[in-house]
Amino acid sequence: MTEALVKKSIAAQNVHLLSSIEELKGLINTLVSNVDEAFIEQMKAVAASFFYEPGDRESYIYKQEITKRILRDFASLIFAIPPDQNEVERDKTLVSRPRFREKVGDRMFWVSRIAFRMKAFNESSSSVITTSTPAFGYSGFSGYSGFAGYSTINEESSTPELEALKLSNAVSVGPVPPLVFRVSRVPNKIGHVAFDVSWSVVVTPQQQLREPNVEAVDYVETNWG
């Protein structure tokens, strides 16, 4: 159905297909602002790459250690144990595309949502045996309907030596490493804890971004769906 709507809307003007409530809020802010919508859409792509670019440790989210600060400042909320469960475990961390909020002078304000996927366990949680290979095992974001369009944040540290090793493993024509067997617990509940990061940046006449600043970090919700 979504594909059919996309095809029908290609030739239409003033039609916006949005994947989330957050994108709808951003569109509303765009329409009521006195800034050209095309300009905001152009800057949204620039802002998204500035805030988080997969594999780029110079991205703002890494340089400001934003996820680490949220984990530190909101630990009691993130690791709160739901009723009838004994413990929780943090899974992947996701980040949304930035949502435009407003423009004041040459400073543009954005909101990026960060969500921590969570697992909850109790005594009845079962276990399964999984297999992977050290060189080729990959745990990527497999998609979650509540977070369409979000990217998975790679929180592992990276160095040139590590990247070279990964590349060497990826193109190796030698024998495949032996399978590694792991025992994984099956969670009783899967949910998320979400936060909105409000941030701003000055846009130069050359559309370069300068003087970034984190304005606020606000707790949004905990959902054990």
Where do we find the tokens 């670019």? 53
- pLDDT, residue 142, reads 40
For 57-115, the pLDDT digits (tens) are: 999 999 999 999 999 999 999 999 999 999 999 999 999 999 999 999 999 999 999 99
For 129-152, the pLDDT digits (tens) are: 555 544 333 233 444 557 888 999
H/E/C letters for each residue in the chain?
A: CHHHHHHHHCCCCCCCCCCCHHHHHHHHHHHHCCCCHHHHHHHHHHHHHHHCCCCCCCCHHHHCCHHHHHHHHCHHHHCCCCCCCCEEEEEEEEECCCEEEEEECCEEEEEEEEEEEEEEECCCCCEEEEEECCCCCCCCCCCCHHHCCCEECCCCCCCHHHHHHHHHHHHCCCCCCCCEEEEEECCCEEEEEEEEEEEEEEECCCCCEEEEEEEEEEEEEEECC
As a whole number of angstroms, the distance between CA 148 and CA 19 comes to 6
Q: Read off the pLDDT of each residue in 179-184 and give the average, rounded to a whole number.
A: 60
- pLDDT, residue 91, reads 94
- pLDDT, residue 148, reads 80
As a whole number of angstroms, the distance between CA 11 and CA 143 comes to 29
> Looking at the predicted structure, is the pLDDT value of residue 14 above 80?
no
Where do we find the tokens 């929180």? 155
Q: Are strands 107-121 and 189-203 parallel, antiparallel or unpaired?
A: antiparallel
Mean pLDDT estimate for the chain: 77
- pLDDT, residue 216, reads 98
As a whole number of angstroms, the distance between CA 153 and CA 58 comes to 13
Q: How confident is the model at residue 56 (pLDDT cuts 50, 70, 90)?
A: very high
Q: Read off the pLDDT of each residue in 190-214 and give the average, rounded to a whole number.
A: 94
Q: How confident is the model at residue 182 (pLDDT cuts 50, 70, 90)?
A: low
Rounded to 5°, the CA angle 32-4-98 comes to 35
Neighbours of 85 (CB within 10 A): 18
In Å, what is the CA distance from 118 to each residue of 21, 92, 192? 21, 8, 5
